[in-house]
Amino acid sequence: MKSQDETLEDWCRALLQALELEGIEVDVNGVLSLAGVAAHSIVRPAAPLTTFIAGFAAGLATGSGKATDAASMQAAMDVARKLAKDYAATETPDA
């Protein structure tokens, strides 16, 4: 039986291949960490939304030639992580 990490790596590889993105390195733990920050800092559904938008922004930056794949993804994830943490710090709980 495969571990969760092995399953995620296999899934990531299959999805990249299906999207014709072979050769792209994905920091699975980094993406999952960002999803966790978004889920806990904002609301749970913010996790997939945040990672999607960060990935989209990284793709646009890479496509425009502004940065490499890795640099674009790291920068987008850093911005999203900081914004999520700042959002949590400024939001007041409902009374």
> Which pLDDT does position 29 carry in this prediction?
94
Domain boundaries, the chain: 27-90
> Which pLDDT does position 95 carry in this prediction?
43
> Mean pLDDT in each 10-residue stretch from start to end of the chain (95 residues)?
94 96 91 97 97 96 91 95 94 59
C-alpha distances out from residue 81 to 12, 13, 24, 38, 61, Å? 21, 25, 22, 7, 18
